[in-house]
Structure 1
């Protein structure tokens, strides 16, 4: 009697487990979709939404001697066109660049708001390098890192503008 129940139970399990295997086709479709989504294009980067501050004319003349700032601005321009060569290169070269970026900063910009914004730019550069060089990072995380670098660089520009504007208004004497 027990053998009949065991055989009936096994037959029931067998019937229930038999069916169409739709999971394998769904997995293949998702894999193809994620492979296509992994590519980050210039159009994808253009669609990122953030406030982009440019330097004022006074600020541009003040940073004319800051070579690493101009190089970073150029590389960010290339990044907007989906050229990752500078940002996913060797980490030691990036660290050397960051060190030179900090040491070449003009003395008039060595104030807390600007130094802190440049530290944030440094952090975002290193984070973007890590996210671009590792293969197991999601596309959305890579895009977020790109956006955060844009935001941090834009905030650095904003602080430079604010500093020079503040200096200008401090020079004005009341009559």
Structure 2
């Protein structure tokens, strides 16, 4: 009777240990896949869909002196190529950039819609910086933050275009 119990115990142990090996292999494969999926590539960012508004030729002529606007546009083009160096860098440099971005805004653009779009861009920049520097933020959350930054910059362009168009039509007097 004792031999049967010992054999039964050993066979159960053997079956359980075989099962653990398969789980370990699956765990390793899963962790490799997740580390691969955590990387955000240029193709991943390129696949983000949103309405991208460009500045009109009149608007481009008006923002020519707004250096930080052009720098942000350049950094966003780098972000589209999966270069995160500006966005996951030192928070103090990013805050300094944001202050200069506000300070250099041309006075004709200091309207409530454009100021609010600037505030949204500032928020999205800080949020993206935080999410890129923290390791336990999911890849999907980071992609959502990148998309939100693209949308906020596009909305700023839209408001600038709209402001200049409204100014143009308000100058036209009926006969």
TM-score by length of 2: 0.89
What residue is the counterpart of 1:161 in the other structure? 161
2:55 paired residue number:
55
The residue correspondences of 1:4-153 to structure 2 (distance < 5 A) are 15=12, 19=16, 20-21=19-20, 22-153=22-153
Task: Tell me, in whole angstroms, the C-alpha distance in 2 between the residues paired with 1:119 and 1:85.
Answer: 22
Q: Deviations over 1:29-86 (max 9, x none)?
A: 1100011011111111100011100000000001011110000001001111111111
Structure 2 vs 1, CA of residues 25 and 64 (structure 1 numbering), >3 Å: closer, same or farther? same
**Alignment: residue pair count:** 165
1:149, 1:30 → 2: CA distance? 31
Quickly say closer, same or farther: Cα 1:28–1:112, change in 2 above 3 A: same
Work out the CA distance in 1 between the residues paired with 2:170 and 2:82. 42
What is the rounded CA distance, in whole Å, between the counterparts of 2:12 and 2:36 in structure 1?
38
How many angstroms apart in 2 are the aligned matches of 1:158 and 1:23?
A: 53
The Cα shift of 1:25 comes to 2.0
CA separation in 2, counterparts of 1:69 and 1:135?
29
Residue 23 of structure 1: how far off its partner (Å): 2.5
Q: Which ranges of structure 2 fall in alignment gaps of 5 or more residues?
A: none
Q: Normalising by structure 1, report the TM-score.
A: 0.89
Q: Is 36-45 or 116-125 further displaced after alignment?
A: 36-45
What is residue 5 of structure 1 aligned with on the other side? none
Q: Which runs of 5+ in 1 are unaligned?
A: 1-7
Counterparts of 1:27 and 1:155 in 2: how far apart (Å)?
43
What stretches of structure 1 move > 3 A for 4+ residues in a row?
14-18
